Amino acid sequence: MHTPSLADYMTLIYRGDWAGVGEMMLASARKLQQMGADFAICPDNTLHQALPFIEGRSPLPWLHIAECVAAEADRRGYHRIGITGTRWLTESEVYPEKFARRAIGYLRPGLAEREEINRIIMDELVYGVFEPEAIAYFQRVFERMKVEGCDAVVLGCTEIPLIMDDANSPLPTLDSTRLLARAAVERALEGGRERTG
């Protein structure tokens, strides 16, 4: 495992320097490759916007979080997915691109919803602040997405599952962090079987 400080990443993200974010990810991949890793994962959804800048130069293949979510959505037969996460993620093509490859529709939060969800994530959840009002806000957004035809919602941020899951969501949830972790374990086990087989 290797990661620079989130603050270092955020400095670049606030400037819109996704190439710079990619260089930080590439530096981590190089260190992990030297330590013997077979592939790399990034549990941060937002950072996936930087992968196109570095995938061709990476010494390790990357397991893409949105591909893991899209595969699970497809497996479960979902047709239209609500996308939640930071405003950078929800305004990006990280999920729409992977959903489109599987003919899965999607819905982004409205502009005001994006800003409020981003505020809850960055000002509350990141700091371990869990307010009932935040849960209620996510529930209202998910309910609107349900009314507009979504049959599931992606929890596209590592912090959102701290307050939202299938038990309190109006829509079935796709926890991106857990889905990536499961896919990584499966891939690692397959690699081990290949080496011993």
CATH assignment of the domain containing 110: 3.40.50.1860
User: In this structure, are 165 and 103 located in the same domain?
Assistant: yes
195 found inside a domain: no
Q: Could you give the 3-state DSSP secondary structure of residue 171?
A: coil
Q: Quickly list DSSP for 53-107.
A: HHGGG-SS-EE-HHHHHHHHHHHTT--EEEEES-HHHHTSSHHHHHHHHTT-EEE
Q: What is the pLDDT at residue 194?
A: 53
* pLDDT tens sequence across 31-89: 999 999 999 999 999 999 999 999 999 999 999 999 999 999 999 999 999 999 999 99
Given this model, what pLDDT does residue 6 score? 85
Distance CA 85, CA 18 (A): 17
Residue range 126-175, pLDDT digits in tens:
999 999 999 999 999 999 999 999 999 999 999 999 999 999 999 999 99
In this predicted structure, the answer to whether residue 195 has a pLDDT above a threshold of 70 is no
23 and 71 in a single domain? The answer is no
First-to-last C-alpha distance (Å) of the chain: 27
In the chain, the number of structural domains is 2
| Confidence tier at 3 by pLDDT (50, 70, 90) | confident
pLDDT at 4 over 90: no
The pLDDT of residue 193 is 53
What local confidence, expressed as pLDDT, does residue 135 receive?
98
Q: What is the pLDDT of residue 197?
A: 43
Whether residue 11 has pLDDT greater than 80:
yes
Sheet with 173-175: strands ordered across: 105-107, 80-84, 152-155, 173-175
Query: Do 58 and 82 fall into the same domain?
Result: no
pTM: 0.91
Pair (69, 31) in one structural domain: no
Which range marks the domain in which residue 102 is found? 65-179
Residue 175, domain member (yes or no): yes
Q: Is the pLDDT of residue 192 over 70?
A: no
Predicted local distance difference test score (pLDDT) of residue 184: 96
